[in-house]
Amino acid sequence: MPPVRVLIVDDSAVIRKFLSDLLAADPDIAVAGTAGNGKLALARIPEVKPDLITLDIEMPGMDGLETITEIRKTYPKLPVIMFSSLTERGAAATLDALARGASDYVTKAASASTPEDARVRVRDELIPKIKSLCAVRREFPQLVAPRPVAAPARAPAKIDIVAIGTSTGGPNALAEVIPQFPADFPVPIVIVQHMPPLFTRLLAERLNGRTRLEVQEGEEGKKVESGQVWIAPGDRHMTVTRKGRDMVLAMTQEPPEHSCRPAVDVLFRSVAQAYGANTLAVVLTGMGADGTRGARAIRDAGGEVIVQDEASSVVWGMPGSVVAASLADRICPLANIVPEVVRRVTFRRMMNNAAYAARGK
C-alpha cells in the first residue's frame, strides 16, 4: 500500500518541522505538505490531495474551528486530527472541533520533561491514530444472531445496568446516543470514553445539557441509580462495586490497560462482577481492542453485548474486535443503538414482571 499522505497545518514553523520530521520517520506515512494557516490549508488540499490533515486549533486569522467547518463543506469524509492543549480552553475547543466534524485529536506535549519525551509521546499517540483513521475498511456482516442458548426454565434476567465503552469518534456518538434515552429510562448508564482530565468533565457537562437524564463525571462513592449517566473521569479507572444493598462508584489509578486510563475493560469487568447476567454492554466506535476482554467477562456472567456497526463508526477497532471474538449479540447502526437498548431493557423487565405475577397465582 502507498504511504498515508498527511497535510500538516500549524501556524508555528517549529511545530510544522517537529511533526514533519516525526511523521517522515515512519515508512507508512508521507508528508504531503504543510500550511501555516487555515486559508492556506484550504488552498493546499486540492493541490496535495492528502489522505489526512493534522490541524492546530489556535491559529491567527482563520483558526482551527473555522477551518474544520470549511473543510467539512467540501471534504466531508477527509480525516482530520486536531492538535489541542491540555487546558480548559483547549479541551472546550477540542470538543467544539469534534462537534464540527473533526475525526480525533492529539494533545500537545507541553508538560514533557525533555524534547525527546515530547517526541515519543506525540509519536505514540498520533501515528496509530493516523494509521487507524486511514485503514482500509473491511467487510464484516452487519447483523449477528444471538448466541444459541437452551430455552430458559424461567424468564431471562432483567437488565439492571447499561455499560458503554468508546474512544475515537465517541464524543459525537455519545452526543447522538445519550439524548435519545427517555427521561424514565429505568436503569443507570456508566460510560468510559478515552479522554484526559478536563475533557471528560466538559463532555459530561455538555451531554447533561442535551438530555433528560442526569449526566455527571464519576466520583468516588457515588450511588448508582436509575436516571443517572456516569462518565469515567480522565486518568482514573472507574468501577462499580456493591456496598451493602447499594451499587457505588469507585475510582482507581491502577496501571493503564491498552495504554488507557480509564479503560473500558476495567469498567466492564466490574459490572460483570457486580451485576452478572443483569448487565447490558454497548461498544461504540473506537480505536484498538479495549472492551473485548470486558465483553467476554460480561458474556461469561450471562449478560449481553451490543456493538456499533462499521459503516457508522469513525473507527471500527473496538466494536470490530468484539465481533471478531464472537462476543456480540447484536451489531447496530449508531441510530439504532438506543432503540435496541430500550427494547431489550423493556422486554426483560416485562418478562420478569410476568413471571413474578405468574408465581403469585
Catalytic positions are 167, 194, 290
Least Cα distance to 89 among 199, 194, 167, 193 occurs for 199
Q: Is the dihedral of CA 262, 235, 25, 84 positive or negative?
A: positive
Q: Taken in order 262, 134, 79, 179, is the CA torsion positive or negative? A: negative
**Which residues in 34-60 are b (16+ Cβ under 10 Å) and which e?**
bbbbbebbbebbeeeebbbbbbbbbbe
Give the span between the Cα atoms of 64 and 45, in whole angstroms: 15
Tell me the C-alpha distance between 32 and 301, whole Å. Answer: 50
Please check whether residue 242 is in contact with residue 271, taking contact to mean a CB–CB distance below 8 angstroms. no
Phi and psi torsions of 320, nearest 5°: -65, -35
Report the alpha-carbon distance of residue 164 to residue 327 in Å, rounded.
15
Residue 2, C-alpha cell as written in the block: 502507498
* Helix axis angle, 64-74 to 38-48, nearest 10°: 30
What is the C-alpha separation between 319 and 328, in angstroms, rounded? 9
CA nearest neighbour of 132 among 260, 289, 264 = 289
* Residue 230 in grid coordinates: 456516569
Alpha helices in the chain (DSSP H): 13-24, 38-48, 64-74, 88-99, 115-133, 170-177, 199-208, 264-275, 292-300, 317-324, 334-360
